[in-house]
Structure 1
Amino acid sequence: MKITDIREARVSIASDIANAYISFSKMDVSVLAIYTDAKIDGRQVVGYGFNSNGRYAQSGLLRERFLPRLREADAAALLDESGVNLDPFKVWSVLIANEKPGGHGERSVAVGIIDMAIWDIVAKVENKSLAKLLAERFDDGKPDARVPVYAAGGYYYPGKQISALQEEMRDYLGQGYICTKMKIGGVPLAEDLARVEAAIEVVGEAGRLAVDANGRFDLRTALAFADGLAPYGVRWYEEAGDPLDYAMQQQLGEHYAAPTATGENLFSHQDVRNLLRYGGMRPDRDILQMDPVLSYGLVEYLRMLEVLRAHGWSSRQCIPHGGHQFALNIAAGLKLGGNESYPRVFAPFGGFADSTPVEEGTIALPDMPGIGFEDKRELMQVFKEHLSL
């Protein structure tokens, strides 16, 4: 089995939305297709990858550093013991060769894009969904039949009024979601609390609404918002401050009894280990949101889960950032606590298979090999348009 071709392109997902820290007016992603000489049921096996939203396209790193390493590697060095399939761990070692420890930054995203495509290939060659393959290799062999998902939105739009926020939340409920998430931190506390109250009025109870500050606050402001949120009992209070300020996270946990969430901007198992050592995270209530694509891929995410187990955490406390089909397979196969979803933004990269609607806040995976991108018509059209499939 050999890799025969690799194609990469940059795709815009720009919009006028904003969170408390950044605008998405110039946001883009990298899309990737890795071709092989393998065939399943007469069809050539192709693996697809892209980066999660919130990080820009990685074209420079992919084209200048990581894809050349993959192209130049001896084909046999990428294969598993059977010789008929790729070994994601061997591929990962090839990609990361000659890279110094630390300095994760953007390179973790570039490697994660390739890793996604490799796992898509591996599962397709075995003619299994990625969820099934992961359950068989790393768990009890039985993936979760349905995965809890929540609708992430509530961004700041120019001129968007509270009534528009409520209408957005109603739309999510109408699509089958029962839990949602909204942004905070972009306006003063009193104004944000009015927005929170309005969203709760729609979703029915505070435990069905999470709030996300996107790392905006200093300690004083984070604690002030914690005091403002405390009477409501929201599902979680996400990324109050800088994701690497573990002391601040610890102080927040000491001050705020309800669940907090963080991790989407941690890109290695070492970062996760430091968060658990020094961030005061509470395994009985807090949520970890590491994104497999942004953090060197599933290979590194498996190492993160090993760190969690060593510190007494359950995988059910993990709800990955990303909101796409790759993370959904991981959530089902490794028995995580759920998955994010973006029903109305970042299309067509966010969201799940066309054939699997959200029902009562959960979703099933399509019965097809690989990650299941082929059951996302609009996404496959993007791949065809930009990668000349």
Structure 2
Amino acid sequence: MKITDIREARASIASPIANAYIDFSKMDVSVVAIHTDVIRDGEPVVGYGFNSNGRYAQQGLLRDRFIPRLRDATAEMIVDETGENLDPFRIWEILMQNEKPGGHGERSVAVGVLDMAVWDIVAKIEARPLAQVLAERFGDGSTDARVAVYAAGGYYYPDDDLERLREEMRGYLTLGYTATKMKIGGVPLADDLRRIDAALEVIEKPECLAVDANGRFDEATTLAYARGMEHYGLRWFEEAGDPLDYEIQKALGKAYSGATATGENLFSHQDVRNLMRYAGMRADRDILQMDPVLSYGLVEYLRMLDELRAAGFSTRNCIPHGGHQFALNIAAGLKLGGNESYPRVFAPFGGFADSTPIEDGQVRIPDVPGIGFEDKAALMDTLRAHLD
């Protein structure tokens, strides 16, 4: 087999919302399509990829470095031992040729976009959902039939008010979610506590509401929020300080009895190793949110899981950031603790297959070869509009 074409483009996911650090009024993503000469159901197999929200499109890196390396590789260099399918690990090594260690900030996103498309191809050629492929290659052979998902939202809007937040939370419950997440850190603590109170009027169960500061706080503010929120018993307190400031995370773990969550802005297994060494993470309650797309793809994510296991953590501690079908397949196939979802924002890249509604806070993996993008009509329309 061989790759016959690689196409990339930029797609907008702009939205009039903000978290504690950034607004999303100019947010975009990279989208790619990798074409092959393998025929399934009368059509060439094509793999699709895109990056998760929160990091911008990587067109320069893709065009100038990573796509040319893949195009220049011979067919023998990119296939597995059978010669009939791609080898994602060999391709990863090709993409990372002549790249120095460290500096994981943006190139990890570009590599992750291509990695997603490669795994889509691998599972399509095997004519199985990616979740099943992963379970058999790297898990115990079986997938989770359903994956717990939570609705991420509660952003700050220009005309933000408490009733709007309540309405948003009601909408998530109506869609079938039982757990949600909201932003904090964009207003003073007293105002954020009022927002939490408003959300809990709807959610009712504090253990079903998580909060996310998006790395906004210094240590003093982190501890002030910990004291202010301790009595709620929230699901978790996410990314209080800078993701690489392990001292803040460690101080939070000592002061706050509830669960904490972090990891979505760690992009290598070395970063995860340092998190385990220095941040005081607690295997009995804390959540790891590394994003398989933003962190060099699934190939590197598997290395991250190895680091967690070595530190005494379970894959069930992992609930990836991203809110899309790629992470969902990984969650089901590797038996993670759940998956994020974006029901109201970042469409059409967030969310899951059209045939699998959210039911009692869980979602099924559709019986579709590959990642399952073809069972999400709005997403396929967007991908084809940009890449055909």
Indicate the residue corresponding to 1:232 in structure 2. Answer: 232
Alignment of 1:314-329 (within 5 A): 314-329=314-329
3-state SS, counterpart of residue 340 of structure 1: strand
3-state SS, counterpart of residue 5 of structure 1: strand
Indicate the residue corresponding to 1:58 in structure 2. Answer: 58
CA distance in 1, matches of 2:122, 2:233: 43
CA distance in 2, matches of 1:7, 1:315: 34
Indicate the residue corresponding to 2:119 in structure 1. Answer: 119
Q: How many pairs align?
A: 388
Indicate the residue corresponding to 1:293 in structure 2. Answer: 293
Matched, 1:85 2:85: yes
List runs of 5+ in structure 2 lacking aligned partners. none
**Residue identity opposite 1:35 in structure 2:** H
CA distance in 2, matches of 1:258, 1:383: 41
3-state SS, counterpart of residue 200 of structure 1: helix
User: What percentage of residue pairs aligned between the two structures are identical?
Assistant: 73
Indicate the residue corresponding to 1:210 in structure 2. Answer: 210
Alignment of 1:55-204 (within 5 A): 55-204=55-204
**Residue identity opposite 2:229 in structure 1:** L
3-state SS, counterpart of residue 8 of structure 2: strand
CA distance in 1, matches of 2:330, 2:384: 25
Indicate the residue corresponding to 1:281 in structure 2. Answer: 281
Shift of 1:30: 0.4
3-state SS, counterpart of residue 116 of structure 2: helix
Indicate the residue corresponding to 1:254 in structure 2. Answer: 254
Shift of 1:90: 0.2
CA distance in 1, matches of 2:103, 2:173: 41
Superimposed CA distance per residue, residues 170-227 of structure 1 (whole angstroms, 9 cap, x where no aligned partner): 0000000000000000000000000001111101110000000000000000100010
Shift of 1:75: 1.1
Superimposed CA distance per residue, residues 256-281 of structure 1 (whole angstroms, 9 cap, x where no aligned partner): 11100000000000000000000000
**Residue identity opposite 2:65 in structure 1:** R
Indicate the residue corresponding to 2:45 in structure 1. Answer: 45
**Residue identity opposite 1:60 in structure 2:** G
When normalised by structure 2's length, the TM-score is 1.00
CA distance in 2, matches of 1:93, 1:70: 10
**Residue identity opposite 1:166 in structure 2:** R
Alignment of 1:326-337 (within 5 A): 326-337=326-337
3-state SS, counterpart of residue 231 of structure 1: helix
CA distance in 2, matches of 1:323, 1:343: 9
Matched, 1:370 2:370: yes
CA distance in 2, matches of 1:371, 1:76: 25
When normalised by structure 1's length, the TM-score is 0.99
CA distance in 2, matches of 1:312, 1:40: 42
Indicate the residue corresponding to 1:245 in structure 2. Answer: 245
3-state SS, counterpart of residue 222 of structure 1: helix
Alignment of 1:294-313 (within 5 A): 294-313=294-313
Shift of 1:42: 1.7
3-state SS, counterpart of residue 232 of structure 2: coil
3-state SS, counterpart of residue 230 of structure 1: helix
**Residue identity opposite 1:201 in structure 2:** E
Report the RMSD for the aligned CA atoms in angstroms: 0.5
- After TM superposition, which residue ranges in structure 1, 4 or more long, deviate above 3 angstroms? none
CA distance in 2, matches of 1:311, 1:222: 25
Shift of 1:310: 0.7
CA distance in 2, matches of 1:368, 1:232: 41
CA distance in 2, matches of 1:76, 1:365: 33
Of 379-388 and 56-65, the range deviating more from structure 2: 379-388
CA distance in 1, matches of 2:57, 2:294: 11
Shift of 1:41: 2.3
**Residue identity opposite 2:158 in structure 1:** P
Superimposed CA distance per residue, residues 327-356 of structure 1 (whole angstroms, 9 cap, x where no aligned partner): 000000000000000000000000000000
Indicate the residue corresponding to 2:7 in structure 1. Answer: 7
CA distance in 2, matches of 1:120, 1:32: 12
